[in-house]
Amino acid sequence: MGDVHGEGSVASVPELLALAQQVAADAGRLLRARLPEVAGGRLLSDGASAKSSPTDLVTDVDRSSESLIVGSLLSARPDDGIQGEEGSSRAGTSGVSWVIDPLDGTINYLYGIAIFAVSIAARVGGRSVVGVVHDPLTGEMFSAAEKRGASLDGRELRLEATGRPLGEALVGTGFSYGAPSRAAQADLLTVVLPEVRDIRRTGSAALDLCSVACGRLDAYYESELKPWDLAAGELIVREAGGTVVVLEGLGEAQSTVVATAPGLEAPLLDLLRRASSGRGRPR
């Protein structure tokens, strides 16, 4: 028990989880230490560069965090694969691949907004078997292992159906960086917002998913997420008893991730499909 089989290799799930937690904590300490550099927005002009658009930025801190994570993982497991947001990539030979977001919430970090995270997942056979999301400022560590449940700082997370209707649900979302996508997402939001309790947009997909897992949000949806946004948080939601669905072709988006507490999946999916088709709110 406790082993996952890759391509000719065996890895212990508890060992992978412990490694991910330790490395996430180390990266979190780096992010906390470097945070004062954002004072006055200096990094916005001095240490940040554009990625997919002028509003999508990467900093030296992102790169330093990714370097620390990759170095630590490969020091412990030199044959593993790597997929990192800031460009780290190698196939590996062990059958285990790590999917890394070294700083989820870069824009928040740059502005000194205290909502950002480190996200690390271990994948075997194309599925996440371990997921860790660490909030460096609160110290919270969300963790999950496939078929072993999810936890927050060692406390089990277990979602139960509340019977709460969609109209009383607090729903998180996020927006892409490209202007056309943002316009389409804004249109979708005008239909969704009147049908739910309220909307939250934190700027960290990983933490939004964890908020569903621990009950701080009832549901969350966002389009055009990348593997590193999703790999750890999705597993944490599922192992906590929530649902995660990826909708293809919702409006202009290639894919939209929808995570919900039990009982809210069907009504939220129905609302999103109606909104994206132009049918709008029910009468």
Which has the higher per-residue pLDDT, 241 or 58? 241
Whether the predicted pLDDT of 52 surpasses 50: no
Q: What is the pLDDT of residue 2?
A: 63
Whether the predicted pLDDT of 55 surpasses 50: no
Q: What is the pLDDT of residue 61?
A: 85
Domain co-membership, 224 together with 241: yes
Query: Is residue 111 in some structural domain?
Result: yes
Q: At what angle do helices 265-277 and 179-192 cross, to 10 degrees?
A: 120
- Which residue among 157, 180, 200 closes a domain? 157
Output the domain CATH number for residue 258.
Answer: 3.40.190.80
Which band of pLDDT confidence, cut at 50, 70 and 90, is reported for residue 37? confident
CA distance 146 to 87: 27
Whether the predicted pLDDT of 41 surpasses 90: no
Q: Which residue is associated with the tokens 């990094």?
A: 43
Which has the higher per-residue pLDDT, 19 or 254? 19
CA distance 172 to 205: 9
- Which residue among 157, 176, 204 closes a domain? 157
Output the domain CATH number for residue 145.
Answer: 3.30.540.10
Domain co-membership, 21 together with 149: yes
Domain co-membership, 224 together with 145: no
Give the sign of the dihedral formed by CA 51, CA 74, CA 90, CA 231: negative
Find out whether 104 and 96 touch, Cβ atoms under 8 Å. no
Whether the predicted pLDDT of 56 surpasses 90: no
| Helix ranges restricted to H, the chain | 13-34, 42-46, 60-76, 106-110, 179-192, 205-214, 227-239, 265-277
The domain in which residue 235 lies consists of 166-277
Q: Which residue is associated with the tokens 């110290």?
A: 139
Q: What is the pLDDT of residues 152-185, one digit of tens each?
A: 999 999 999 988 999 999 999 999 888 888 888 8
Domain co-membership, 212 together with 258: yes
Domain co-membership, 53 together with 113: yes
Whether the predicted pLDDT of 38 surpasses 90: no
Domain co-membership, 33 together with 94: yes
Domain co-membership, 51 together with 114: yes
3-state class percentages of the chain: helix first, strand second, coil last, to nearest 5 = 40, 30, 35
To the nearest 10°, report the CA torsion of 249, 252, 256, 262: -80
Domain co-membership, 16 together with 102: yes
Whether the predicted pLDDT of 53 surpasses 50: no
Strands 89-90 and 48-50: unpaired
Domain co-membership, 61 together with 78: yes
Strand partners, 141: 134
CA distance 29 to 177: 28
- Which residue among 157, 191, 217 closes a domain? 157
Domain co-membership, 131 together with 70: yes
Domain co-membership, 10 together with 97: yes
Instruction: Give the pLDDT mean for 229-256.
Output: 90
Which band of pLDDT confidence, cut at 50, 70 and 90, is reported for residue 10? low
Domain co-membership, 149 together with 264: no
Phi, psi of 233 (to 5 degrees): -65, -40
Q: What is the pTM of this model?
A: 0.90
Nearest to 197 by CA among 253, 267, 147: 267
Q: What is the pLDDT of residue 181?
A: 85
Q: What is the pLDDT of residue 95?
A: 95
Query: Is residue 282 in some structural domain?
Result: no
Q: How many domains does the chain have?
A: 2
Average pLDDT, the chain: 88
Q: What is the pLDDT of residues 221-236, one digit of tens each?
A: 999 899 999 999 999 9
Query: Is residue 21 in some structural domain?
Result: yes
Q: Which residue is associated with the tokens 């056309």?
A: 180
Strand-by-strand arrangement of the 81-84 sheet: 89-90, 81-84, 96-104, 117-124, 127-134, 141-145, 149-152, 155-157
Query: Is residue 283 in some structural domain?
Result: no
